[in-house]
Every structure is written in structure tokens, then in C-alpha cells.
Amino acid sequence: MDIKKSLIELGFQKNEASIYLALLELGITQAGPLVRKTKLHRMLVYNALERFVDDGFASVVRKKNIQLFQTTDPHIIIDKIQKKQELAQDVIQHLRKLQQAQTQAVTVRTLIGQEGFVTNMKDIVESASRQKDHTMRIIGGARDTEFYEVIGDWYDDYKVMIEKYGVRKLLVAPAAHSAGFKKYFAKERGTVLRTISGGLNTPLYTRITEEMVSFEMYKPEILVIQIRNSTIARNYLDSFELLWKASR
């Protein structure tokens, strides 16, 4: 393991990483031995030591008016990262509130072919993972056989991605088109399938989260239309709930 490189990735400057490792090896020491060991300018060493003390990576002891430095428990690196993560979570919440307070634009994206289909699936799963309930709601209109033909060999990767992001799925589909869903979909972890006897016989397959909606058409070619707008998504969620209550 390249420990110096790892320290740099954790936020240390290149010189700081060298000085910190030298301080660990020397134990309690004055600045002079650190200068000789690292071959860095004295000012760089003193600046780094001052930063270490301020941030809690090192402590200073005075003995006969001589400053001695030693590292604290290296676990403080994890403590610092955890505090930054907590701060980042708070900042993100405030930023999202500011974002939601603005008039939302409508972003429309068209995706074509197998590659476009896979891109959309990744986008909608990531979107669902950002919701509190981690749920993707799906209205199935196209035949189940068409969906499984399109997803093909990528189906196993799709299931792995769903589990990785902790996303659950609710699907309402026409009873006449549900044999494949009962065979595959209903056996996946965190899924609920309901069927409806009439209606929904459309060429579309609709996926809905709180922030986006996607429409998939499989024939005559794979075509996906994404719409990113929470107001539009909310309307489709309401429609889904009506169908969900009417299904069994």
C-alpha cells in the first residue's frame, strides 16, 4: 500500500504527508530532525506542524522551553472525514431547498437503442435511490415479453444495480401481459406486482420517481423519452396511485 499516496487522497498536501509520516516514525521530536529526515525547507515543516496541531493531528509539548511534537491517534483522520460528511449532508439539504424554491425547468431527453435503454434504467434507479422511500413506480402497458427481450443479457446486471442502490419497485400491469412479470419480476427482492383487468394496453412502459418520468417504447425500435421535472413527475405519481388502488 502506498501510504503517502493514500494520505494525499485523504486531504493531505504532498509535503504534509511526508512530514506526517516522518513524525509518526520519529515519535516525540523537535522540528529539526523532521527537517533533516524529510529534506524539506524549515518553514514548510513548521507550517505543516502548526496545521497538524490546529487540526488535532499532532500535539505539542514544551520541555525546558523546547517545543516537542508528537502525533495523536491516527483515527482522528476518520473522525475528520465523518464530520465533513455530516457537514456535507447538511449543506446538501439546504442547497436542495434553495434549488426547489426556484422555478423548475423541464428537461427532456431522447434515448435510442439498447444503449439508450440501459442509460435510462441507470438514471431512473439512481433517481429512485435519492427518494426517502427508495421506490420506483412503474406502469406497464407494453407486453412483458417485449421488456424482457429488450433487457436481454443485461437483466442480471440490472438486478445487481437495483440491490446496490436499495431500490424497491411497484409495478401495475395489464393482467393479460403479466405472465413474464409473475415469472421474473415478482421474484426479485423488494418488488410488488399488481394487475388490472382492463386498460393500459399501450405500447409504453412508464417509470416514475419524484423528480423524473421515463417512457419506453420497444417497437418498431427502442425509444426512451425522459422528462425531468418534479411537478410533472408528481402528476404521474398521482395517476399511478389511482391505478394502484384499482389493481389487485
120 contacts 224 by C-beta, under 8 angstroms? yes
- pLDDT bucket at 124, cuts 50 / 70 / 90: very high
Domain with 163 in it: what CATH number?
3.30.870.10
Is the same domain home to 123 and 238? Answer: yes
124 burial type by CB count under 10 A (0-12 exposed, 13-18 middle, 19+ buried): buried
Residue-wise pLDDT for 12-58, tens only, equals: 899 999 999 999 999 898 999 999 999 999 999 999 999 999 889 99
Is the same domain home to 44 and 163? Answer: no
Answer yes or no: is 81 within a domain: no
Answer yes or no: is 14 within a domain: yes
Positive or negative: CA dihedral 73, 78, 82, 88: positive
Domain with 21 in it: what CATH number?
1.10.10.10
Answer yes or no: is 78 within a domain: no
What pLDDT sits at residue 109?
92
pTM confidence score = 0.57
Answer yes or no: is 82 within a domain: no
208 contacts 135 by C-beta, under 8 angstroms? no
Is the same domain home to 68 and 126? Answer: no
* Cα–Cα distance measured from residue 136 to residue 129, given in angstroms and rounded to the nearest whole number: 8
Long-range CB contact pairs, 46-50, < 8 A, 24+: 48/13, 48/15, 48/16, 48/19, 48/20, 49/19, 49/23
What pLDDT sits at residue 192?
84
* Cα–Cα distance measured from residue 57 to residue 79, given in angstroms and rounded to the nearest whole number: 11
Positive or negative: CA dihedral 110, 113, 116, 118: positive
Q: Which grid coordinates belong to 186?
A: 415478482
Average pLDDT over residues 105-117: 89
What pLDDT sits at residue 80?
86
Is the same domain home to 240 and 119? Answer: yes
Domain count, the chain: 2
Domain boundaries, position 54: 3-73
* Cα–Cα distance measured from residue 64 to residue 117, given in angstroms and rounded to the nearest whole number: 72
Is the same domain home to 200 and 129? Answer: yes
Positive or negative: CA dihedral 179, 181, 184, 187: negative
